[in-house]
Amino acid sequence: EEQRLAYRERIKTLLRERDAVLVAHYYTDPEIQSLAEETGGCVSDSLEMARFGKDHPASTLIVAGVKFMGETAKILSPEKRVFMPTLEATCSLDIGCPEQEFSDFCDQHPDRTVVVYANTSAAVKARADWVVTSSIAVELIEHLDRNGEKILWAPDKHLGSYVRDKAGADVLCWDGACIVHEEFKAQGVLDLKKAYPDAAVLVHPESPASVVEIADVVGSTSQLIKAACEMDNDAFIVATDKGIFYKMQQLAPEKTFLEAPTAGSGATCRSCAHCPWMAMNGLQNMVAVLEDDNGMGQEIFVDPVLAEKAMVPLNRMLDFGQ
């Protein structure tokens, strides 16, 4: 405990000394989220993280999240230095969509507008017409569909089929998934609802269709937090990373938040409602990165040619999301 407080104080001092601001995702540990709040940084979803990092006057960004978030920050703010507590923090969606295979897939479907989720590498974004996050995915696909466009969507197949059904659009999907959301089980949610009949079910659309079907609200992290605040229910069953409970409990302390059940604990559950890569962001590696001028090698660099290409669909995302 003493060590923890010492780390927090050290990070606060170093952020000031290095003209740095902490940008954290809702899925990081409460420790990291509260530190971002206390130091004038931000805690949010990937869309708002991108916006905040771009608009903030600090010369250095410390991005606590996963690698694509650091890359997005660097692409949108090439003049800033961007560090992460560890560059090892990646994402199964990013890993499951390698640049070359994706590019070949696009080449096979030249008639389709390429829309990629923010959870992708800079190289994949550079090949895209649009980047989206889950908070604007349905609206964007509806918009493109109204223009008569056919869509190639990557990489999350669950989010892809959700937006296809919602928008009634022609969407061809890449076969990727999030290892955290993929584990939620509809039967487990229904069983838990028997014990809490008044609970509302909040589901992130990276979850399987069977779980999305029984949701009261389907939405991005910020949309689920908003629902938790605004709905009258006393209890909520939440199918997304449990890091989100920090913000939900902070904004609605009188309500009860329950983790949606996953496949099981132990051997069969790889992630148990907490992203193993988000969990790599800790106080200790943050201190190490801030103490060393070279950030212990945890600085984000993006190939400038790729960055210039990727900036186009990223800026479209920010403009569309206004």
Cα separation, 198 vs 200, whole angstroms: 6
User: Of ligand SF4, ligand CIZ, none, which one does residue 133 interact with (CB within 5 to 8 Å by kind)?
Assistant: ligand CIZ
Instruction: Establish if 285 lies at the interface with ligand SF4 (CB under 6 A).
Output: no
Minimum CB–partner distance for residue 173 and ligand SF4 (Å): 15
User: Of ligand SF4, ligand CIZ, none, which one does residue 92 interact with (CB within 5 to 8 Å by kind)?
Assistant: ligand SF4
User: Using an 8 Å Cβ cutoff, are 220 and 133 in contact?
Assistant: yes
> In this chain, which of 32, 66, 75, 260 binds ligand SF4, going by CB under 6 A?
66
Closest to ligand CIZ by CB, 33 vs 134, is 134
> In this chain, which of 76, 138, 151, 178 binds ligand SF4, going by CB under 6 A?
178
Q: Specify the DSSP class assigned to residue 150.
A: -
Per rule CB under 6 A, count of chain residues that contact ligand CIZ:
10
Instruction: Establish if 278 lies at the interface with ligand SF4 (CB under 6 A).
Output: yes
- Sorted by sequence, the CB contacts under 8 Å of residue 98 that are 6+ apart come out as none
178 is in an annotated binding site: yes
Instruction: Establish if 207 lies at the interface with ligand CIZ (CB under 6 A).
Output: no
Per rule CB under 6 A, count of chain residues that contact ligand SF4:
14
Phi, psi (degrees; rounded to nearest 5) at 116: -115, 150
Taking the CA atoms of residue 53, residue 59, residue 62 and residue 68 in that order, the dihedral angle to the nearest 10 degrees is 50
Minimum CB–partner distance for residue 182 and ligand SF4 (Å): 8
> In this chain, which of 178, 227, 238, 310 binds ligand CIZ, going by CB under 6 A?
178
- Sorted by sequence, the CB contacts under 8 Å of residue 190 that are 6+ apart come out as 214
The whole-angstrom distance between residue 75's C-alpha and the CA centroid of its chain comes to: 17
Instruction: Establish if 134 lies at the interface with ligand CIZ (CB under 6 A).
Output: yes
Cα separation, 236 vs 201, whole angstroms: 6
Instruction: Establish if 244 lies at the interface with ligand SF4 (CB under 6 A).
Output: no
117 is in an annotated binding site: yes
97 is in an annotated binding site: no
Instruction: Establish if 46 lies at the interface with ligand CIZ (CB under 6 A).
Output: yes
HEC string of 195-248 equals HCCCCEEEECCCCCHHHHHCCCEECCHHHHHHHHHHCCCCEEEEECCHHHHHHH
Cα separation, 126 vs 151, whole angstroms: 17
- Sorted by sequence, the CB contacts under 8 Å of residue 219 that are 6+ apart come out as 134, 135, 202, 204, 205, 226, 227
Closest to ligand SF4 by CB, 15 vs 50, is 50
User: CA distances (Å), 83 to each of 20, 69, 179, 291, 317, in order?
Assistant: 10, 11, 25, 12, 23
User: Of ligand SF4, ligand CIZ, none, which one does residue 221 interact with (CB within 5 to 8 Å by kind)?
Assistant: ligand CIZ
Cα separation, 171 vs 151, whole angstroms: 5
Helix (H, G, I), strand (E, B) or coil at 43: strand
Instruction: Establish if 119 lies at the interface with ligand SF4 (CB under 6 A).
Output: yes
> In this chain, which of 77, 133, 207, 281 binds ligand CIZ, going by CB under 6 A?
133
Closest to ligand SF4 by CB, 15 vs 89, is 89
Residue ranges at the known binding site: 25, 46, 91, 117-119, 134, 178, 204-206, 221, 275
Contact residues for ligand SF4 (CB under 6 A)? 27, 66, 91-93, 119, 178-180, 206, 241, 275, 277-278
Contact residues for ligand CIZ (CB under 6 A)? 45-46, 118-119, 133-134, 178, 206, 220-221
